[in-house]
Structure 1
Amino acid sequence: MIRIRALHKYYGDNHILRGIDLDVKQGEFLVILGPSGAGKSTLLRCINGLVQADAGELQAVGFDAMDTRQYRNLRQQVAMIFQHHNVMLRLSVLKNVLTGRLGQMSVFASICQWFSTADVELAMDCLRRVELDHKAHARTDALSGGQRQRVGIARALAQKPKVILADEPVASLDPKTSRMVLHYLRAACDELGITVICNLHQVDYAREFGDRIVGLSGGKLVFDGTSDELRDSALNLIYSGTTFPQILPVTAETNTSTELLVQGVAS
């Protein structure tokens, strides 16, 4: 599905990605952990061509993500969910979701926003998946932050992608809403077979939702394993020597305190 070898990215003299090697399987929910500046967002943007890597090999859904000529076809198969929603507030919820179909339409049809009946039915089904179909005709600026992020997920699903890249999708949300958003992404992975790569700061969410977790630090991949393998020694590598207390299983009682601890370390 995704194959990355010796990937490097520079911004001027700043070496952001330093030889990343990573494979992601179809239908996998992969969480990327790491402090701010570790290269998490840059890696996602390289995968869908929003940023072009400087060296290495990057194959995604059958396309060469190092070749700008393949970007249009690549982006039809790889959807992106951003931290700050990136929805159009003055449009209705349904219209926002329908924009996920623009990449599959002709230039003329997309300019005129001529959506087919099938597209509208698909968009409504995507809204039902995130439990927002009752808000289809509401203006998006009337929604809460969590609801706007769910619109972003529905828009990504309307694209009918093979991969969803989620760049810190719950960073600005409260714990209850965060878990709801991650639940919808997890369902897309389990029920539709969509590969999900999700950048997170919260260790407890990574352990709860991820099939597999990788850790970035200083632009290098320093951990690759399951949630059970994400112990103190691995966290110390990811978060540059920070000492963590014993990691407790996620429960209703421990979740809030654990989350606050991790958010404090990651900030």
Structure 2
Amino acid sequence: MPNLTFKSLEKFPELIAGMTTRLGGVSEGIFESNNMGILASEPDDKAIVNMRAMIRALPVRPWKVAVTRQVHGTRYAALGKEPPESTFEPDFSVFPETDILMTNEPGVLLITFYGDCVPILVYDPQHKAVGLCHSGWKGTSLRAAEALVKGMIKEYGSRPEALNAVVMPAAGVCCYEVGFDVSSLFEAYPEHLVPFANKHKIDLKGINAEILTSCGIPAEAIEVSPLCTLCDDRFFSNRRDGGHTGRMAAFACLKEHNEVIV
């Protein structure tokens, strides 16, 4: 399974994390081929096959899989030995109206879904806690990444200066055009707005990295992927494909101490 991994996380062998691409699955048509959209409004009965194959291929054996029904908000769910109230579906705990997941429990696999929005991972190596955040333009305007960091401070006692973060592939400033109704929400980040044909191109990844640094995470501890989901055909893109397409998944799971998968 051709998942993307991130160099800055290689020094943390206890953390299994990455992002899927559209390659290597069994979906067909507009969902070809590695569609992870198990909760998307357009049904694809092969998405669950792709998801299970991805999970089986991971070098960890999760005892719980947590996924989100995302609403472009800032609500988080913190998973421990017993999850908070949720809606249960076969094989998965589904958290409604939730865009942020976090855990400090080994064996809990966190999964969030993406078309062009920004996937953000934050890891606390001191307290062995990890979080994922889904942040499109609306979530970015609401500072969802800050909600993730504040949630980890509250739940795990995380210290921002000790955190590591990854801003994963998403719509890039090269391609992501928005009207003034959206760009006006980001006037505080002029260096991330590029005037273009009576609109703006916007660097959501850069804005989210700046939000993370404003929370106290050192800039050198934040990896920002240069990959753009709109112009790189290894990814599904909701905008490029007119809203009819598949989804990628960002995932994170802590391994049990000395866990070995054979």
For normalisation by structure 2, the TM-score amounts to 0.32
Say which one has the larger Rg. Answer: 1
> Would you tell me which structure has more strand in proportion to its own residues?
2
For normalisation by structure 1, the TM-score amounts to 0.32
> Would you tell me which structure has more helix in proportion to its own residues?
1
